[in-house]
Amino acid sequence: ASYPATPGPRQAELYAAARDAGAEAIRAGRVAVFTVAGGQGTRLGFDGPKGAYPITPVRNAPLFQLFAEALLGTERRYGHRPRWYIMTSLTNHAETTTFFAQHDFFGLAPDDVMFFQQGQMPAFLPDGRIALAQPHRVALAPDGHGGSLRALADSGALADMRRRGIDIISY
């Protein structure tokens, strides 16, 4: 089945029911927001986490701020603010958490945000050989989106969600 952004005449009821179910899940505190934020802004010509990049043309607001504002808007609309889980990387974890602290978590309570680091895996060369960082040390690289579920589990985020009654993740 195809689910376009705008429902066709036969899908209007289905879409309305899905919106209602989502709104009820948010109101009940069953929804968490999960952001994969391990990247650096190097390709953007920015020295720092991508989420700290000033992305809006008028306010110069960083991406993290836009996400935080969306969560605050969700709370105004539905009466509940989803908890935000942010997966960072070894290279940007400290910068990301410092950035949030410097900006007073963009109006969110620090307890409403959980940071954790993604895992790492061996890096491979284009020909399939394992890359070496040193003659007897395997080079490691972040495991990215593929390691998200393992990182959620290893960090305690899934256990935290379970304790809070969260059973839906908006990724």
**Mean pLDDT confidence for 155-168:** 98
Position 9 scores a pLDDT of 85
Q: What are the tens digits of pLDDT across the range 74-88?
A: 999 999 999 999 999
Q: What is residue 98's predicted lDDT score, i.e. its pLDDT?
A: 97
Note the pLDDT tens digit of each residue in 97-111.
999 999 999 999 999
Predicted confidence (pLDDT) at residue 19 exceeds the cutoff of 90: yes
SS3 content of the chain, % helix, strand, coil (to 5): 45, 20, 35
Residues 122-153: pLDDT tens digits? 889 999 998 988 989 998 777 878 889 999 99
Mean pLDDT of the chain: 93
Q: Taking each helix axis from N to C terminus, what angle separates 63-78 and 12-27, rounded to the nearest 10 degrees?
A: 90
Is the pLDDT at 1 greater than 90, yes or no? no
Distances (CA, A) of 55 to 5, 11, 16, 44, 50: 25, 35, 32, 10, 10
Radius of gyration, alpha carbons of the chain: 19
**Quick one: what percent of the chain has pLDDT higher than 70?**
100
- Give the pLDDT mean for 33-58: 88
Structure tokens at 141: 């690289």
